[in-house]
């Protein structure tokens, strides 16, 4: 069986995807079974191939920004697993000092700019980040991720218009997992194929299979090349599926078990494992070694989080922007 990419690429994809999956499932257990994680929690389980394909199609200096389903992308960009788990625990050693939680992971050094809780907010911020790179004359590209629900926000259209007008180096990636919280695209939009929204702005747009890191890599690499060559933005609708609920409290009454099972048969990690084994890229023993390594990294992150301190009380007003001359505040 011929493969499109190098052995190193396939094994990198597999280990990254397995690490994300292990992190999410372990964190869910600590939330549900042990009560050690609280607040909001949005898992990336099922969508790992998107993160993997995007990483190999970009440079470390390229910027990622996303919504509140952010754990997988943060880990992909190199935000440490320890600091990610600590953030879920609300500890001072977390990637947002324990003050952001699940929805607000952040890693400035890794060029990961969140984690945004307001639906669609990252689309405007991501466009602004792309403007900054354009203004500074860098070759860096911004990957701005959002869900199918955020495609209903007005800021998407304002951002698309300016990004095309100024030919900004931004790739808009709609991770379409079929449900905005619990509402399907078919119930909220006359346009069921979200990538077609780009046509109104003459923005290059296409639909991509998000269950396969190969197809994700190819589509993103093409869009990145266009952006680096000053060709402007691209809209990619990457079709995927989340195996968990919208959030950890979601009873998932809007979809059937049969539907979930149908998509689980296309599990991106299982598919990639089969490709690796069928092509003799790695042996079963080597795959097990990777699985064990991921288990150990995540187990160590739990120990790190549990042994880390909570933030001091004096942290509550730090990192909060205040304009002393704001004229509309009265006592």
Query: Is 329 a member of any domain?
Result: no
What is the tally of structural domains in the chain? 1
pLDDT given at position 323: 81
- DSSP string covering 288-324: HHHHHHHHHHHHHHHHHHHHSPPPPGGGTTTT----T
Residue span of the structural domain in which 183 resides: 7-317
pLDDT given at position 331: 62
Query: Is 144 a member of any domain?
Result: yes
CATH number, position 20: 3.40.50.970
How big is the chain by its Cα radius of gyration, in Å? 20
pLDDT given at position 325: 82
The per-residue pLDDT for range 168-204, each reduced to its tens digit, is 999 999 999 988 888 888 888 888 899 999 999 999 9
Alpha-carbon separation of residue 175 from 77, 115, 179, 210, 304 (angstroms) = 17, 14, 10, 8, 31
Query: Is 226 a member of any domain?
Result: yes
38 backbone dihedrals φ, ψ, rounded to 5°:
-130, 175
- DSSP string covering 157-199: HHHHHHHHHTT-SEEEEEEE-SEETTEEGGGT-S--SGGGGGG
Query: Is 322 a member of any domain?
Result: no
Query: Is 325 a member of any domain?
Result: no
pLDDT given at position 324: 80
All residue ranges of the chain with pLDDT < 70 are 1-2, 329-331
pLDDT given at position 101: 95
Query: Is 44 a member of any domain?
Result: yes
pLDDT given at position 189: 81
Query: Is 330 a member of any domain?
Result: no
Query: Is 2 a member of any domain?
Result: no
Dihedral angle of Cα 219, 224, 227, 229, to the nearest 10 degrees: -110
């Amino acid at each position: 069986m011929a493969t499109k990419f190098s052995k190193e690429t396939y094994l990198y994809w597999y280990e990254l995807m397995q690490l994300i999956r292990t992190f999410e499932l372990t964190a869910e257990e600590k939330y549900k079974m042990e009560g050690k994680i609280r607040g909001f929690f949005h898992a990336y389980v099922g969508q790992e191939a998107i993160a993997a394909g995007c990483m190999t199609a970009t440079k470390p200096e390229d910027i990622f920004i996303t919504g509140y389903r952010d754990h997988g992308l943060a880990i992909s960009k190199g935000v440490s697993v320890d600091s990610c788990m600590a953030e879920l625990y609300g500890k001072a050693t977390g990637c947002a000092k324990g003050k952001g939680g699940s929805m607000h992971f952040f890693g400035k050094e890794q060029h990961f700019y969140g984690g945004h809780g307001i639906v669609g907010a990252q689309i405007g911020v991501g466009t602004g980040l792309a403007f900054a790179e354009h203004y500074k004359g860098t070759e860096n590209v911004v990957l701005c991720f959002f869900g199918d629900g955020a495609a209903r926000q007005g800021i998407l259209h304002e951002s698309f218009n300016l990004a095309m007008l100024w030919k900004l180096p931004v790739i808009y990636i709609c991770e379409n997992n079929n449900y905005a919280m619990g509402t399907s695209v078919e119930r909220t939009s006359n346009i069921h194929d979200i990538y077609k929204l780009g046509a109104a702005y003459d923005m290059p747009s296409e639909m991509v299979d998000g269950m396969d890191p190969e197809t994700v890599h190819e589509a993103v690499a093409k869009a990145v090349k266009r952006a680096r060559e000053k060709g402007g933005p691209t809209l990619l609708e990457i079709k995927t599926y989340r195996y968990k609920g919208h959030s950890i409290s979601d009873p998932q009454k809007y979809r059937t078990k049969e539907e979930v099972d149908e998509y689980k048969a296309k599990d991106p990690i299982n598919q990639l494992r089969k490709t690796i084994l069928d092509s003799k890229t790695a042996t079963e023993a080597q795959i097990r070694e990777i699985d064990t390594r991921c288990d150990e990294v995540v187990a160590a992150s739990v120990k790190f989080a549990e042994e880390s301190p909570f933030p001091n009380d004096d942290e509550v007003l730090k990192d909060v922007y205040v304009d002393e001359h704001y004229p509309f505040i009265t006592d």
